[in-house]
Amino acid sequence: MKRPSLLFFLISTILLSFSGCEKPNSDSPASVKNEPRDQAVSYQKKVTKYEKPSDSRKKFSTVGKNQKKTNVRIKQVNLESLSIQSTYVGYLLPNKRVLMRSEIDGVIEKIDFEEGDEITKGKRLVDISTKEHRLKLKIAITDSNLADINIKRDEKLAAQNLISNAQLDQTRTRAESASLNKELAEISLNKSLISSPLKGTIKTRHIKVGEFVRKGDKLVEILDIDRILVKVNIPEQEILSIQVGQNVEVALYIMEKKTFLGRVKNIGLEADSSNRTFPVEILVDNKERQLRAGMLARATFTKNVDQDQIVIPRHTILERDQGRVVYVFEDGKAFRRDITIGLSQQDQVQVVQGLNKGELIVVEGHTKLTDGEEVNVVN
């Protein structure tokens, strides 16, 4: 009885031991099987996290390659006429100025004008001792008439040999002298009757009625201001380009927005030794009397270059160490081009060498371009 119970106990103990060892063995294959998968997932996560910087650099590199092009505006090069303007400061003068003086001694009998009056040519202005000179003229006329009668009588007597030829010659001499005295009396009377030598405006009256004036005393000053002279001084370097009759644009400092058209009237023959300039007078119409003598003015002379020229805006030209350059647009790119300039006027510059008609130049966005850079045209 004891032997079978002992045997049963041993078998049960072995079975229990076997089952206890088999449990961890059964778990082991599953864990071994899952471990590579977990390691792969973990490795994949690590790799993914590590590769993010690489992806960002790759993205940045792509952006660099697709960098935005510079926007520019372009303009076609055409042939144009270039106008060269030169402006000089001058002042206004009356077209004519006459200061009348007395030619005889006498008393002012009559004055027929006031300062500021508009007068016509030939208008009587002043009478100086006219009564006296009229009487002298009458006496001279009487003497002349008597001399004419005497010469006719003596010529008849000489023809009849009643008087000598010497007496006839004396009569003729007296008649000629009387005629000359008559002419002198007429001249003296005309000198006492002062008339205006031109159409103009009375500036100044220097006399009063009843005053005694002597030969050479001032009587009246008359100005012709229907037309005004603009006097400017032109440097000797420019004087040869000025011609009589040339149109000139005149503007006043007090009337900035209005201009007047004038013509060159006179060009000085001799330069001022102090500044080497030549006086030039410009005649301007002044019917509306807006221009007054003494005002300051600007006279602009325009010289047109008749032949067609390549002219570009000044701001398109860049100053570089090697000289002046512009950027020419071709096949989507901007290329630097060396140029040689000539005449210039304000914002327009003549290009003598470096550009051809029909080429496209960059007029905006060109200051930071590089040679051969791709650009985007916005116009």
Bridge partners of residue 161, in order along the sequence? none
Q: Rounded to whole angstroms, how far apart are CA atoms 119 and 199?
A: 6
By mean pLDDT, which of 33-42, 124-133, 156-165, 177-186 is the weakest? 33-42
Helix (H, G, I), strand (E, B) or coil at 315: helix
In the prediction, which pLDDT does 360 show?
Answer: 94
Bridge partners of residue 304, in order along the sequence? 83
In the prediction, which pLDDT does 147 show?
Answer: 93
Q: Where are the alpha helices (DSSP H) in 293-334?
A: none
Q: Rounded to whole angstroms, how far apart are CA atoms 171 and 191?
A: 30
Mean pLDDT throughout 232-240?
92
Nearest C-alpha neighbor of 328 from the set 300, 302, 358, 304: 358
Which one is predicted more confidently, 193 or 309?
Answer: 193
Tell me, what amino acid is at 149? I
**pTM of the full structure:** 0.59
Q: Rounded to whole angstroms, how far apart are CA atoms 248 and 254?
A: 18
The token pair at 17 is: 């031991």
In the prediction, which pLDDT does 256 show?
Answer: 77
* Percent with pLDDT over 90 in the chain: 62
Domains within the chain, CATH numbers bracketed = 70-82+307-377 (2.40.420.20), 103-213 (no CATH), 225-305 (2.40.30.170)
Query: What CA–CA distances, in Å, run from 158 to 150, 154, 226, 328?
Result: 12, 6, 63, 109
What's the residue count for the chain?
379
pLDDT for 55 beyond 90 = no
Beta strand pairing status for 124-128 and 193-195? antiparallel
pLDDT digits (tens, 9 = 90+) for 309-336: 888 999 999 998 889 999 999 999 999 9
Output the average pLDDT for the chain: 84
